[in-house]
């Protein structure tokens, strides 16, 4: 990883990306158990959409846009330097995910951690989808990308319909393929099928390519009003189209159904349009925008830091016979507030602690990238 200031950043993209990172830290770190967590801060059980379900797909949508921006300097042409950069970043994302998983298992004293290491997950999905989307971006003519995305979605939908793809158990074709290729000990243990499994990578890649196309359709315009209008139109078409198609293909984050990708990309485009109008055009920046910008300028660094911080906060008892997590939630917050509000307060506290780390990097103009 290299740390150096970037000459120019698009503030609205930084803010939206920062909102997703802050959101992921918030929902991934509740103070109490699931029953003590407010419903909007939980994922939909199987089908449906909650505010929490928007966070990760928004980040992947933004990743598609920034992939387009990063490849512009290579003129979207194949070169050894470009291919090596893509391979390096994709590999590092995957390795970070594997490294974090292995570290947590070692800290918890898991027997045979390598034999139970989850091969896929959030960071591996980011690495795979970024790498493939970037390679497609420099090898396939961009005018064909919408057709490629449509083909991916249709093929995946057919597989879901004809191969028991909507089952919430190990008979699902997604689970069958994951267990056959990766092994039952190397997939997500808490639910079947794995929400970041092999097959669902197909629509997830289409998701990132939608972001790539939005980046192309918007950045080729020069007038900011035209950019805002196009973001709104694309977002509305995707969101409404995905919602209408959901009657035949249900929305599901855990399956990453094509309609889920369409609706979340559409909503992400609308939110980006609003931020572009508010921040880039109107120039309105206050504490809220600055708060999320801190997260957005170093998204991966802060997210990795938030994971590493779980070790001293939750795994080890650094306060005698209790952990920092237990002390804050049980002793401080639950003694004053109800379980659910105490859980939310802990999540907010954890977000603020990680924001402080990001603020230090932001003030020092340190932007860490892979």
pLDDT confidence of residue 110: 86
Give the DSSP per-residue string, 24-63. Answer: HHHHH--SS-GGGS-GGGS--SSSS--GGGGHHHHHHHHH
Q: Indicate if the pLDDT at residue 148 is higher than 70.
A: yes
- Short-list 237, 255, 254, 253, CA closest to 245: 237
Give a three-class secondary structure readout of 138-192: HHCCHHHHHHHHHHHHHHHHHHHHHCCCCCCCCCCHHHHHHHHHCCHHHCCCCCC
Q: CB 364: neighbour CB atoms within 10 A?
A: 10
pLDDT confidence of residue 3: 46
By residue count, the chain amounts to 370
The pLDDT tens digits of the residues spanning 3-34 come to: 444 446 788 999 999 999 999 999 999 998 88
Q: Which residues of 243-268 are buried (b: 16+ CB within 10 A; e: fewer)?
A: eebbeebbbbbbbbbbbbbbbbbbbb
Q: Which residues of 163-201 are buried (b: 16+ CB within 10 A; e: fewer)?
A: bebbbbeeebbbbbbbbeebeeebbbeeebbbbbbbbbb
Contact 57, 16 (CB under 8 A): no
Helix (H) / strand (E) element for 109: namely none
The pLDDT tens digits of the residues spanning 213-241 come to: 999 999 888 899 999 999 999 999 999 99
Mean pLDDT of 244-256: 96
pLDDT confidence of residue 8: 60
Distance CA 7, CA 47 (A): 43
Domain boundaries in the chain?
A: 2-369
């Amino acid at each position: 990883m290299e740390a150096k200031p970037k000459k120019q950043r698009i503030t609205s993209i930084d803010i939206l990306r920062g909102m997703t990172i802050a959101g992921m830290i918030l929902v991934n770190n509740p103070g109490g158990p699931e029953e003590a967590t407010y419903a909007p801060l939980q994922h939909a059980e199987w089908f449906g959409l909650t505010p929490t379900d928007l966070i990760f797909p928004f980040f992947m949508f933004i990743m598609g846009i920034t992939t387009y921006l990063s490849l512009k300097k290579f003129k979207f042409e194949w070169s050894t330097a470009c291919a090596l950069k893509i391979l390096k970043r994709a590999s590092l994302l995957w390795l970070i995910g594997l490294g974090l998983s292995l570290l947590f298992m070692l800290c918890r004293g898991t027997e045979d951690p390598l034999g139970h290491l989850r091969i896929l997950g959030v960071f591996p999905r980011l690495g795979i989808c970024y790498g493939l989307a970037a390679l497609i971006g420099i090898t396939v003519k961009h005018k064909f990308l919408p057709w490629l995305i449509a083909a991916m979605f249709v093929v995946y939908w057919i597989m879901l319909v004809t191969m028991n793809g909507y089952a919430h158990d190990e008979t699902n074709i997604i689970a069958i393929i994951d267990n056959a290729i990766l092994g039952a000990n190397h997939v997500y243990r808490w639910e079947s099928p794995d929400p970041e499994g092999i097959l669902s990578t197909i629509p997830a890649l289409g998701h990132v390519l939608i972001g790539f196309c939005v980046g192309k359709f918007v950045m080729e315009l020069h007038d900011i009003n035209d950019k805002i209008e196009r973001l709104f139109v694309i977002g509305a078409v995707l969101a409404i189209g995905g919602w209408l198609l959901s009657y035949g293909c249900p929305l599901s984050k855990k399956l990453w159904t094509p309609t889920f990708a369409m609706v979340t990309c559409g909503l992400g485009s609308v939110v980006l349009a609003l931020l572009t109008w508010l921040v880039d055009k109107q120039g309105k920046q206050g504490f809220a925008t600055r708060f999320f910008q801190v997260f957005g300028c170093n998204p991966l660094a802060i997210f990795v830091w938030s994971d590493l911080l779980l070790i001293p906060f939750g795994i080890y008892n650094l306060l005698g016979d209790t952990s920092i997590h237990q002390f804050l939630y049980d002793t401080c917050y639950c003694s004053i507030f109800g379980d659910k509000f105490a859980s939310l307060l802990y999540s907010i506290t954890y977000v603020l602690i990680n924001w402080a780390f990001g603020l230090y990097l932001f003030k020092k103009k340190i932007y860490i990238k892979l």
